[in-house]
Amino acid sequence: MPLLEAIDVHGGYGGMNILNGVDMAIEADEIGVIVGPNGAGKSTMLKAIFGLLTITQGEIRLRGEAITNLSPHKLVEMGMGFVPQEKNIFPSLSVEENLEMGAFLKPATASRLKRQIYEFFPPLFEKRRQPAGELSGGQRQMVAMGRALMNEPSVLLLDEPTAGLSPRYMNEIFERVKTINAAGVGVLMVEQNAKQALRIAHKGFVLAAGQNRFTDTGEALLNDPQVAKSFLGG
C-alpha cells in the first residue's frame, strides 16, 4: 500500500480548476519529485494534499485512508508535515522557538527532537537564540524544515525548498532531503531545479496544465529524451 496516494485529483481556487486529474503515489521510503513548467499546478497539488484548497473530484489517501479535504490541523496530527515555499518561518521568534512551535502537538518530545535537529542542521544550534527572520536564506530553509520535522512526520511535503538559494546551499538541502528520507520519512517535493531533484528522486511526476504528462522513476525521466527536450531544457 502506498504511503501517499492521489487519484485523479481535480481542484483549484474559487471555481477555477488548476488541477485537472493528477495521479501520484509514493511508498514510505521514497522521495517523489514534482516538476513541470510554471503554472502547471505543482505547488497547487501540494497545497491540495495539505488541505489548503478544495478538491472537487478525486481522492487523496494516506496509508490507504482517505484524507481528501481534511483540515491542515488534522493532517498534522496524522503525521503530515508541510514546508511552504514562502513565509515558512516565524520571523520574530527565535530559531529555538520556531522549532518548539513545530512540536506544538507533542510538547513532551520537544527537547529530544530539538537536539536531533541541531545535530542535523549544526548552523541552527549556533543561532538558536537569534530571531529566525535575521538568518540567511539557506538557514531559514533549515529552520523551516526543522520546524516541520519536529512533529516527527511520516510524510513531508516540501514546496520548492531550494528556491532562491545559492548552488552550495542547494546541494546541501538536497543532501538533507536524502538523509531525512533515509531516516524513514516519505518526501514529496516540488522543484524548479528539476535535473538535480530528479537525480535524488525515486519517483518523478512531470505535470503540465494540471495533468500528469510523464510519471516514472527519477532516473528514467532524466534519461527520457522527450522529457529532457520539453521540460529539462535539452
Contact call for residue 107 and other proteins (CB under 8 A): yes
Residues 6+ apart with CB under 8 A from 208: 36, 37, 40, 231
Contact call for residue 112 and other proteins (CB under 8 A): no
Q: Which is nearer to other proteins, 88 or 193 (CB)?
A: 88
Collapsing DSSP to helix, strand or coil, 169 comes out as: helix
Contact call for residue 89 and other proteins (CB under 8 A): yes
DSSP state of 63: T
Near other proteins by CB under 8 A: residue from 14, 38, 73, 234: 73
**Helix-helix angle 167-182:137-149, to 10 degrees:** 10
CB neighbour class for 200 (10 Å; exposed up to 12, middle 13-18, buried from 19): middle
Positions 154 through 213 that interact with other proteins (CB under 8 A): none
Q: Which is nearer to other proteins, 113 or 206 (CB)?
A: 113
Q: Which is nearer to other proteins, 90 or 214 (CB)?
A: 90
The stretch among 34-42, 84-92, 114-122, 176-184 that binds other proteins (CB under 8 A) is: 84-92
Near other proteins by CB under 8 A: residue from 25, 28, 101, 222: 101
- How big is the CA angle at 62 (ends 59 and 65), to the nearest 5 degrees? 70
Number of residues that bind other proteins (CB under 8 A): 24
Collapsing DSSP to helix, strand or coil, 26 comes out as: strand
Q: Which residue has the cell 489548503?
A: 52
Q: Which of 216, 75, 229 is nearest to 154 (CA)?
A: 75
Positions 126 through 165 that interact with other proteins (CB under 8 A): 147, 151
List contacts with other proteins (CB under 8 A): 50, 72-73, 76-77, 82, 84, 87-93, 97-98, 100-102, 104-105, 107, 147, 151
